Amino acid sequence: MAPIATQYDFIVIGGGSGGSGAARRASGWYGAKTLLVENGRSGGTCVNVGCVPKKITWNFASVSEMLKDGVHYGYDIPKDIKFNFAEFKRKRDADVKGLNGAYERNWSRENIDLVRGTATFTGQKEIEVEVGEGEKRIYTAPHILIATGGKPVLPKGIPGSEHGITSDGFFDIEDLPKRMAFIGAGYIAVELAGVMAAIGVETHLFIRGNTFLRNFDPMVQNTMTKRYEDAGVIIHKSHQGFKEVIQVQDGRPGQKVLRLIEQDGSELEVNELLWAIGRAPEIERLNLSSVGVELKQKGHVQVDEYQNTSVLGIYALGDVTGQAELTPVAIAAGRALSNRLFGVNHPRGGPHLANAKLDYTNIPTVVFAHPEVGTIGLTEPQAVEKFGKENVKTYHTRFTSMFYDFHPAEEKKMNPTEYKLICEGPEEKIVGMHILGLGSSEMMQGFGVAVKMGARKRDFDSCVAIHPTSGEELVTLK
């Protein structure tokens, strides 16, 4: 006998930040009967193997850097202070577990029904959830949201690639490797390589070009690549890929030995290898083709500006769509979607929400590298291509933060702060802002508001500088 379908107003598949945000807005604000389907740990990628543990680990590495800096301020800090990475990992895991619980308590408080299992579409308004071995349940709703996120991928065609790990496995490391290799030039490779180098791991970074963070402004690419080299990261440029990865010695993470054989035959032995070569949407079990949901060429779910898929009543957001794959983007998109679906005729909403959607332009973002990088808007090449070189003016400064005043000259050179504003037209509207250096992450949030509002260079100039700060340089650029 087929199971009886349980009806809801809204079904959200995926309990990460985007799906959770949509569910909480729909149920907690607007009273929609909401079901959340989650097949992993509550909070999704960001909480468990992304933003949160990454930032905690960045903080850990920053303490190591600060201890070295303290000597220049007169503190009697001995060299090579020991730390207990396993103890740090236990504390980080406990913090993440606490956040998992907080997500679940929020769902319960806002009357969201939670079911754990794997969802499959059995109709355009219906899903089947496998909640246990042989046990399946049917749920229906006029509105179903796909927010299953993405997963890191391993390269194809390289024998032994499975001996390496991805960013997911990075947070399982308890015994630090003496030597570690990172493959990739984006956020994940740069952030995690920076962490390991800062705490004393011999770090190798393999990139296909001559710089990393290739989607960022050339200023960021060039300065940060040199900064990492100066900090001791061994960067293997023009990397053509590996021919094979051989596990020479098995062991726990950090204790194994891998031999990396490059295409030219050269070899390098490391204790850990991390692939950071991209992510793929987590959609295999959803059976989207059976209900007509169209996919992009690279497998992401195709959506319009309102997060609608090709099927009426089915929506998608977050990493699964390949749109600005950042947690706050998914959260904002989820809330906007719920506002549009359930807020128009609700006292807490109103008719103005009929066209609610997320504006994907001018989204500020930060790379928690060493030092931090913040960016919003267009790179200089993008601005020139869009507006013409004659209509673009840039303002640029490079200096050493006051924090390093007591450091030796050679160390000052290794710790640059650099800012660039990209302006368009006679009004000098700021269409791009790129900053790197101490405090850039927090600074970017505030300046991001100004750029999002359409600030012009003269608006920055009219703001009285806060002295002495690095940020004052952005309102005094000549």
Considering the domain architecture, whether residues 265 and 253 belong to the same structural domain is answered as yes
Considering the domain architecture, whether residues 273 and 287 belong to the same structural domain is answered as no
The pLDDT of residue 1: 54
Task: Tell me the C-alpha distance between 447 and 128, whole Å.
Answer: 46
Considering the domain architecture, whether residues 426 and 467 belong to the same structural domain is answered as yes
Cβ(204)–Cβ(180) under 8 Å? yes
- Full domain range(s) for residue 284: 6-49+89-151+280-355
Task: Report yes or no on 199 lying in a domain.
Answer: yes
Task: Report yes or no on 182 lying in a domain.
Answer: yes
Considering the domain architecture, whether residues 141 and 255 belong to the same structural domain is answered as no
Neighbours of 53 (CB within 10 A): 21
Task: Tell me the C-alpha distance between 185 and 278, whole Å.
Answer: 10
Q: Is the pTM of this model over 0.75?
A: yes
User: Among residues 334, 355, 376, which one ends one of the domains?
Assistant: 355
Cβ(116)–Cβ(132) under 8 Å? no
Task: Report yes or no on 315 lying in a domain.
Answer: yes
Considering the domain architecture, whether residues 391 and 325 belong to the same structural domain is answered as no
Return the CATH number at 114. 3.50.50.60
Task: Report yes or no on 83 lying in a domain.
Answer: no
Total tally of structural domains belonging to the chain: 3
The pLDDT of residue 45: 79
The pLDDT of residue 218: 98
Task: Report yes or no on 14 lying in a domain.
Answer: yes
One-character DSSP codes across 372-398: -EEEEE--HHHHHHHH-GGGEEEEEEE
Considering the domain architecture, whether residues 136 and 29 belong to the same structural domain is answered as yes
One-character DSSP codes across 250-295: --STTT-EEEEEETTS-EEEESEEEE-S-EEES-GGG-GGGGT--B
Considering the domain architecture, whether residues 40 and 135 belong to the same structural domain is answered as yes
Task: Report yes or no on 54 lying in a domain.
Answer: no
How far CA 53 is from CA of 20, 197, 233, in Å, comes to: 19, 17, 22
Considering the domain architecture, whether residues 121 and 216 belong to the same structural domain is answered as no
The pLDDT of residue 198: 97
Considering the domain architecture, whether residues 124 and 252 belong to the same structural domain is answered as no
Backbone torsion region of residue 422, taken as left when φ is above 0, otherwise alpha when ψ lies between -120 and 50, otherwise beta: beta
Considering the domain architecture, whether residues 285 and 139 belong to the same structural domain is answered as yes
Cβ(316)–Cβ(147) under 8 Å? yes
Q: Is the peptide bond before 468 cis (omega within 30 degrees of 0)?
A: yes
Considering the domain architecture, whether residues 245 and 230 belong to the same structural domain is answered as yes
Task: Report yes or no on 202 lying in a domain.
Answer: yes
Return the CATH number at 448. 3.30.390.30
DSSP classification of residue 185? S
Task: Tell me the C-alpha distance between 232 and 411, whole Å.
Answer: 13
Considering the domain architecture, whether residues 240 and 386 belong to the same structural domain is answered as no
Would you please indicate which residues are annotated as catalytic (active-site) residues?
467
User: Among residues 229, 252, 277, which one ends one of the domains?
Assistant: 277
Instruction: Encode the chain (478 residues) as per-residue pLDDT tens digits.
Output: 567 889 999 999 998 889 999 999 999 999 999 999 998 887 777 777 689 999 999 999 999 999 999 999 999 999 989 999 999 999 999 999 998 899 899 999 999 999 999 999 999 999 999 988 878 999 999 999 999 999 999 999 999 999 999 999 999 999 999 999 999 999 999 999 999 999 999 999 999 999 999 999 999 999 999 999 999 999 999 999 999 999 998 876 657 999 999 999 999 999 999 999 999 999 999 999 999 999 999 999 999 999 999 999 999 999 999 998 888 999 999 999 999 999 999 999 999 999 999 999 999 999 999 999 999 999 999 999 999 999 999 999 999 999 999 999 999 999 999 999 999 999 999 999 999 999 999 999 999 999 999 999 999 999 999 999 999 999 999 9
Task: Report yes or no on 84 lying in a domain.
Answer: no
Structure tokens, 367: 């790379």
The pLDDT of residue 253: 61
User: Among residues 325, 355, 385, which one ends one of the domains?
Assistant: 355
What lies within 8 Å, CB to CB, of 461 at 6+ separation is 475, 476, 477
Q: How far from the centroid of its chain's Cα atoms is residue 450's Cα?
A: 23
